[in-house]
Amino acid sequence: MNDLSFAVPLWVWAAVTVGIGVMLAVDLIAHRDNHVIGFREAAIWSSIWIATGLGFGLILLLWQGAEVSSTYYAGYLIEKALSIDNVFVFALVFSFFAVPDSYQHKVLFWGVIGALAFRLVFIFIGAELLQVFFWTAYLFGAFLIWTGWKMAFSKDEEVHPDRNPVVRLVKRIIPTDPTFHGVKFFTHINGRRVATLLFVVLVAVEATDLIFAVDSVAAVLAITTNTFLVWTANAFAVLGLRSLYFCLAGLLRRFRYLHYGLAVLLAFAGVKLILSETPVGKLPIPLTLGVIAVTITVSITWSLIATRNQPAEGDGRPAETRANGTAGGDGESPPTSHQPAATSSHDKGTP
């Protein structure tokens, strides 16, 4: 597979990675009191993370030129669009386990760290496979097309976080108390160290994102196999995931047709990846950017127009789950009132 190739010194990799770590630290310090994050605060932080991601593209423009910069932006946009679907599933997990708002930031913070780690591993493995074995482009392409089809036509399948194999395995291996103990992931009960329900929620979020990481990395690899560009596009898109959740939590019900747009993007990425190993070759980056921008704009606009008379308040959680305090439930079969009002638009790897 022919692709962009430019020298990235080790110190640049280190600087970018350290910079990402610093931004995560700033985010943690800014929310160390685990307060309930409102829309205004979330919108400010989302703007900061988006500005940071777009600003990095400008740095690439000055450093390596327009082709490298536009390739990064194409990867960043598709990752940002797919991250909206992450938000749907996170809202469902939080609703299912009745997680109070004041606890959610800590779960999402550690969820972002896990997401970055998963993506870094998949990026290097996926890029190496595509470079060494040309036929893996067909496998990845077919996987993305299948994922897009599933996303478009399996919208109404219910998601049950407690049935996730990873969650079940953790609860079998680690002694677990089925209640919250503040923002603690572990606590001591009768002299025994046990995991709390919040740790189970974190495992559910991480297990969900593991599935997302596979298709999102594959989608960016369809644009470029340059590991530096794939990593930075993923990293800067994922950094704002926590703030994006708190920004969109009250609007999720209005994104009724977004999953169709995301399905189109995944299928397009799959076709693009397959064509890269045929006489047609790689599709031009301007065309890729155009398809991504138009698809996202149309699907979101279509959703907002169709739901313009629908209230945007709430995210499917009952009022008591949004309160600041200890939630009940045992994590196995929560009360009926704690079930989400709607299912996710993303059903892969039922979390």
Q: Nearest Cα to 237, choosing from 56, 40, 44, 13?
A: 56
Helix (H) or strand (E) holding 140, with range, is helix 136-153
**In this structure, are residues 123 and 230 in contact, taking their beta carbons and an 8 Å threshold?**
yes
Residue with tokens 């996926």: 126
Residue 188 β-bridge partners: 193
Q: CA-CA distance, 209 to 28, in Å (whole number)?
A: 20
**What is the CA 55 to chain-centroid distance, rounded?**
21
Q: CA-CA distance, 182 to 291, in Å (whole number)?
A: 45
Per-residue pLDDT of the chain (351 residues; tens, 9 = 90+): 546 778 889 999 999 989 988 988 887 776 666 667 777 888 888 899 999 999 999 999 999 999 999 999 999 999 888 877 777 778 878 888 888 888 888 898 888 888 888 888 888 888 788 777 777 888 888 888 888 888 888 755 555 666 667 788 888 888 888 888 988 999 998 888 999 999 999 998 888 777 777 878 888 888 888 999 999 999 998 887 888 888 876 676 777 788 888 888 888 888 988 887 788 777 788 888 888 889 888 988 988 888 887 655 444 443 344 444 444 444 343 333 333 333 444 444 434
Q: CA-CA distance, 125 to 109, in Å (whole number)?
A: 25
**In this structure, are residues 74 and 62 in contact, taking their beta carbons and an 8 Å threshold?**
no
Q: Delimit the domains of the chain by residue range.
A: 21-160+209-338
